[in-house]
Amino acid sequence: MIRLQKFLAEAGIASRRKCEQLITAGKIKVNGQIISELGYKIDEHQDRVEYRGKPVKPTSEKIYLAINKPLGYVCSASASQGKSVLELVDIQERIYPVGRLDKDSTGLLILTNDGDFANKIMHPKFASEKEYLVQLNKIFNRQDAKKLAAGMVLDGKKLQPIKTIKITGRTVKLILREGVNRQIRRLLGQLGYQVLALQRIRVGRLKLGNLKIGEWKNIKPTDL
């Protein structure tokens, strides 16, 4: 017997946390019945699990990819909000993005079907450093780097410090660990800047390098 959310994550539906949300939202059926109870256990060899009307089957091969996300693509398995980044990857197995880059951002994104790996990468306790190259509408004031490093408040919550490692006129490199929605754009907006371009260039030890826009490659979990 296995917990339903663990089965879904291991089958490549989404991260463990996202699978829990799908269950509580009534999106998952087991043997024809909607299951909304977290912790519900199934027999993965006997029970029929469905998501979006299609059977969910266990995945034996774990897949780990890095892609250079282009502008205009959404980090979702669904294309309901725009072109999905998954459309760029020519493989048959079901995979999903680990974390997000908003539609207006580019750069390094991890794709996988390993729910435990995705959960570890995104969990605050294990969150990897993420490095961004940001282009602004005006020259960056070094005093604002101190404000980012002190930890700014967003939606009533004080966030972890953001490290500024390089400033060249209107271009700045930032390192952070949290993944709050549109965090960089919103914080820099508070400081009076408009973000013209935002590119993620590193996750943990894995760098974007010379991977071209829209291209992807196989990686190993240890690369991060």
CA distance 112 to 114: 6
Q: Is 89 helix (H, G, I), strand (E, B) or coil?
A: coil
- Is 47 among the residues known to form the active site? no
Distances (CA, A) of 118 to 68, 78, 160: 18, 18, 21
For the four alpha carbons of 127, 167, 104 and 91, in that order, the dihedral sign comes to negative
Please give the angle made by the CA atoms of 42, 121 and 59, to the nearest 5 degrees. 35
| β-sheet bridge partners, residue 34 | 29
Among 47, 90, 102, 104, the one annotated catalytic: 102
Q: What is the rounded distance in angstroms from the CA atom of residue 57 to the CA atom of residue 190?
A: 46
Residue labelled with tokens 């960056």: 140
| Strand order through the sheet with 49-51 | 33-34, 28-30, 49-51, 54-55
Neighbours of 74 (CB within 10 A): 20
Q: How far is CA 210 from the centre of its chain?
A: 21
DSSP structure class, residue 211: P
Catalytic residues, which ones? Answer: 102
